[in-house]
Amino acid sequence: MKANKLHDMTVQELNGKLIELKNELFNLRFQLATGQLENPMKVKSVRKEIARTKTILREKELNMEK
């Protein structure tokens, strides 16, 4: 998901998205450990998506404080 779409989401939606991404990362790591993962680059993209979501959450948090 692009960052501009994440900026349009509310804090609650972003938290839900973050939980969803963490669950997906857990499942991908499990598949990687058992040798069932077809595309290992998917792990990297999900990690970047988690980082992007956390960054936008932090930006929104800082904007609320001001």
Average pLDDT, stretch 1-28? 93
Q: Tens digit of pLDDT for each residue in 46-66?
A: 999 999 999 999 999 999 887
For the chain, list the domains and their CATH numbers.
Answer: 3-65 (1.10.287.310)
Q: Tens digit of pLDDT for each residue in 19-32?
A: 999 999 999 999 99
* pLDDT band for position 8 (cuts 50, 70, 90): very high
Distance of CA 42 to the CA centre of its chain: 12
